Amino acid sequence: MSAEQARITIFDTTLRDGEQSPGCSMNQQEKLRLAHQLDRLGVDVIEAGFPIASEGDFEAVRAIAAVIRRPIIAGLARACAPDIERAWDALKDAAHPRIHVFLATSDIHLQYKLRITRDECVAQAREAVRLAKSFCDDVEFSPEDATRTDPEFLCRVLDAVVEAGATTLNIPDTVGYTVPSEFGELISTIRRRVKGIENVTISAHCHNDLGMAVANALAAVSAGARQVECTINGIGERAGNAALEEVVMAMRVRSDRFAYETGIVGEQIFAASQMLSEITGVPVQPNKAVTGRNAFAHEAGIHQDGMLKNPLTYEIMTPKSVGVPDSKLVLGKHSGRHALSIRCEQLGYQFDRRALDDIYRRFVRLADKIKHVEDHHLLELIRDTHKTSSSATPLIEPSSPARAAMASAAAPETPKPFPMVPLAGTFGVPLPGATEHHPEQQEDYLWGV
Ligand code: KIV
Ligand code: ZN
């Protein structure tokens, strides 16, 4: 870490807020398995659950606290004694426990949900933090619905909880309502106005109802927040939370704008995403940034041609940097001749120019019909073309992997999951000399568009 790069604490709430997503509930064993992966991923804080919510959640938090010893383990509690005592019961064996207390502060919540006055809210928040502090040094306080709270009143509540001993002030955009400039200003106001703020970590907890959770979290960091609360794949209540992988990779890829460091091991991101999806049965949206199966897939001829010459043309981070085995060039109707000829070579066939033209025309017709041309389709097409046209002669004999692929082409293909490990002969493996630029490739690029 360079001297000027501030360290951002990554607080993962996949096992708490994330688990609140419809369909994402996890049992104790599943939570424990994911907690181990979060540990490998290098998160600083794991919010393991909401111990008062159920017996199962209590046991899950307890089990995680007992075995995951490096990160801080946090448990959520409403601002009342039974919740805080239950949270502490679950956390007390943790190497680094944290009690996370929350209480709503917006007038809408005070009036309609809690039915308490502002004064009562301040007193309840203060008492709750005092109680939590009597058990545990590390106490986080969240004023729920902070972004719809009168900033004046918000600062009054925060003054009270800092005085009572809170060590982290988490500012939730509970309903995903704020926008980056506004959220940044709110963090600056808190930094200017709250007494004792210099001894406290400010945190951002952003929901994605308007699709701005990650942008809001980054704006908070730019304004001085030093903890970000986030989840794997961005799961969470309603539209979800800020996605951990997006926040972290935005800071890495755009370190010129966000000169911050995290302890995240990038190479573990994809494994965490896949494990969560496997446990919950909730698939990752294909075009999901960083972890979706299309995040490093290229179909357009122009893009494939660029990728084959130099991946920097169309990728701003390497797949390996986030644990994805490799980029994929998908053969479809938008693909160009360059990508097709490379794939044929990988399957063991090299064609002269006329033969390749022939194959390419047939390939485009096929892609129009079946959308994605898999290896076995391509091998059949090569065989057919070879049978019917004397010009389409392979210049080299198929190598043995190609023979194997041809043999397997006879069997019906089941859809393949995005590969977890590099597969021998997978399309997209960087090619020797792929960055060399030959004049005829420029023509391919035009032809393939
Ligand atoms: O969104 C929210 O306000 C929360 C708090 C409990 C931090 O999840
Ligand atoms: Zn939340």
pLDDT in tens, 265-297: 999 999 999 999 999 999 999 999 999 999 999
Q: Which of 388, 387, 322, 331 lies closest to 360, judged by CA? A: 331
CB-based contact 377:370 (threshold 8 Å): yes
Mutate to test the pocket of ligand 1, among 103, 139, 142 (most ligand atoms within 8 A of CB): 142
Please report the pLDDT score of residue 435 as a whole number. Answer: 38
- Confidence bin at 3 (pLDDT 50/70/90): low
Q: Express as a percent the part of the chain with pLDDT over 70.
A: 85
Please report the pLDDT score of residue 372 as a whole number. Answer: 87
Task: Summarize pLDDT for 357-394 with one digit per residue, the tens.
Answer: 999 999 999 999 998 898 899 989 988 877 665 444 44
What is the Å distance from ligand 1's center to 240 Cα? 11
- Using CA atoms, how far residue 54 sits from 57, 60, 87, in Å, is 5, 10, 11
Question: Residue 18 CA to chain centroid, in angstroms?
Answer: 12
Q: What is the mean pLDDT of residues 29-55?
A: 98
Task: Summarize pLDDT for 201-218 with one digit per residue, the tens.
Answer: 999 999 999 999 999 999
Please report the pLDDT score of residue 424 as a whole number. Answer: 31
Please report the pLDDT score of residue 36 as a whole number. Answer: 97
Rounded distance between C-alpha atoms, residue 229 and residue 241, angstroms: 8
Q: What is the mean pLDDT of residues 49-58?
A: 97
Number of H helices, E strands in the chain: 16, 12
Comparing 448 with 118, the larger pLDDT belongs to 118
Please tell me the residue having the least CA distance from ligand 1 atom 2: 174
CB-based contact 228:8 (threshold 8 Å): yes
Element (H, E) at 103: strand 97-104
Global pTM reads 0.84
Cβ of 140 less than 6 Å from ligand 1: no
- Using CA atoms, how far residue 10 sits from 122, 324, 349, in Å, is 28, 21, 49
What is the Å distance from ligand 1's center to 256 Cα? 31
Measured from the CA of 241, which atom of ligand 1 is nearest? 1
What is the Å distance from ligand 1's center to 151 Cα? 18
Measured from the CA of 170, which atom of ligand 1 is nearest? 7
What is the Å distance from ligand 1's center to 142 Cα? 7
Q: Which single residue is written with the structure tokens 């021998």?
A: 424
Give me the chain's average pLDDT, please.
87
Q: What is the mean pLDDT of residues 141-157?
A: 98
Measured from the CA of 172, which atom of ligand 1 is nearest? 3
Q: Which of 49-63, 200-214, 303-317, 412-426 has the lowest mean pLDDT?
A: 412-426
CB-based contact 279:26 (threshold 8 Å): yes
